[in-house]
A and B are shown apart, each in its own frame.
Chain A
């Protein structure tokens, strides 16, 4: 069964500092990996995705993530954090096509990012 671990429940960084959010996954085949961001009371916004190819993927809002198969990791990074980046961040793995159609995402428990001004 697939699973996702986000080891950090809360992270606080200063505005302008760099950021790295950790994500480890467990999946038997080639994983489809995603990072989503959620502001309070809002839906989830897709930041970036990894399906195959280049292991460093660029996303929206200046975020990037690196897929490391040997470490089963897909960490999210940003070189300089803005106060507006404060939100909940979810890593997710896609587990293949469902028999009846559609696909199922398994989410990590999330990391709450606080940005200090």
Chain B
């Protein structure tokens, strides 16, 4: 099973709202990722978690707050977003191997619209 699930599929929120995106995988992967993807562009890495610890924050604004409550779950908390934050948010996971890079498996994404 190589499935990563994300909820919700679509989200519309105002600039003063607080919402959360959720991601789950049951492949035993210990690295999880959040990406942002604008239309007609490749995904941009936002955050990397390894063994539930934040490994990389790619200079993402503090209005995005990631959380990894356990090895299967990854959340992205959203607060006071701007219209330019509207995008497809993708979650991914991969095995952790000291010897090299592993492939990442992506979820279907959450389409976020900020009004």
Contact = CB atoms under 8 A, between A and B. Distances in A.
B60 interface: no
Nearest to A95: B101
Interface in B58-90: 88, 90
Given A41-B111, A110-B42, A103 B101 contact: yes
Given A32-B101, A51-B100, A45 B111 contact: no
A109 B41 contact: yes
Interface residues of A, number: 29
A70 interface: no
A95 B45 CA distance: 13
Interface in A21-40: 32, 34, 36
Interface of A: 32, 34, 36, 41-46, 49, 51, 90, 94-105, 107-110, 112
Given A43-B108, A101-B50, A102-B31, 11 more contacts: A34-B103, A42-B109, A43-B106, A43-B107, A90-B43, A94-B100, A97-B97, A100-B54, A102-B48, A103-B94, A105-B104
27 contacts: A32-B100, A41-B88, A41-B109, A41-B111, A43-B4, A43-B90, A44-B90, A44-B106, A45-B106, A46-B2, A46-B104, A46-B106, A97-B100, A98-B55, A100-B53, A100-B54, A101-B48, A101-B50, A101-B55, A102-B48, A102-B49, A102-B56, A104-B45, A104-B56, A105-B104, A110-B42, A112-B40
Interface of B: 2, 4, 6, 30-33, 40-43, 45, 48-51, 53-56, 88, 90, 92, 94, 96-98, 100-109, 111
5 closest pairs, A vs B, by CB?
Answer: A101-B50, A94-B101, A100-B55, A107-B42, A102-B48
